[in-house]
A and B are shown apart, each in its own frame.
Chain A
Amino acid sequence: MRASILKQNKFLIASVQGSMSDADLVQLREELASGVRRYRSTGAMVDVTMLDVMDSFAVRTLRGIAQMVKLLGAECIVVGIQPDVAFSMVQLGLTLEGTMTALDLEDGLDLLNARNFGDPARNE
Chain B
Amino acid sequence: MSSTSQMVVPIKADVDVVTARQEARRLVSGLRFSSSELTLIATAISEVARNIVAYAGSGEVVLRIGQRGERRGLVVIARDQGPGISNIERAMQDGYSTSRGLGLGLPGSKRLMDEFELVSEVGKGTEITMVKWER
Contacts and interface: CB of A to CB of B under 8 A. Distances in A.
Interface of A: 19-23, 52-57, 59-60, 82-85, 87-88, 91-94
Nearest to B49: A55
Interface string B55-79: 0000000000000000000000000
A92 B17 contact: no
Q: How large is the interface on B (under 10, 10 to 19, 20 to 34, 35 or more residues)?
A: 20 to 34
B108 A53 contact: no
A82 B17 CA distance: 20
B39 interface: yes
Nearest to A92: B108
Given A22-B17, A92-B104, A84 B112 contact: no
B114 interface: no
Given A53-B21, A55-B43, A21 B111 contact: no
Contacts of A94: 102, 104, 108
Interface of B: 14-15, 17-18, 21-22, 35-36, 38-40, 42-43, 46-47, 50, 94, 101-102, 104-105, 107-109, 111-112
Nearest to B37: A84
Given A21-B14, A56-B105, A84-B35, A92 B42 contact: no
12 contacts: A22-B14, A23-B14, A56-B47, A56-B105, A60-B102, A82-B39, A85-B39, A88-B40, A91-B108, A93-B107, A93-B108, A93-B111
Contacts of A59: 102
Given A88-B36, A92-B111, A54 B43 contact: yes
B40 A91 contact: yes
Given A23-B15, A60-B102, 16 more contacts: A21-B15, A21-B18, A53-B39, A53-B43, A55-B43, A57-B50, A57-B101, A60-B101, A82-B39, A84-B38, A84-B39, A91-B108, A92-B47, A92-B108, A92-B109, A94-B108
Contacts of A56: 47, 50, 101-102, 104-105, 108
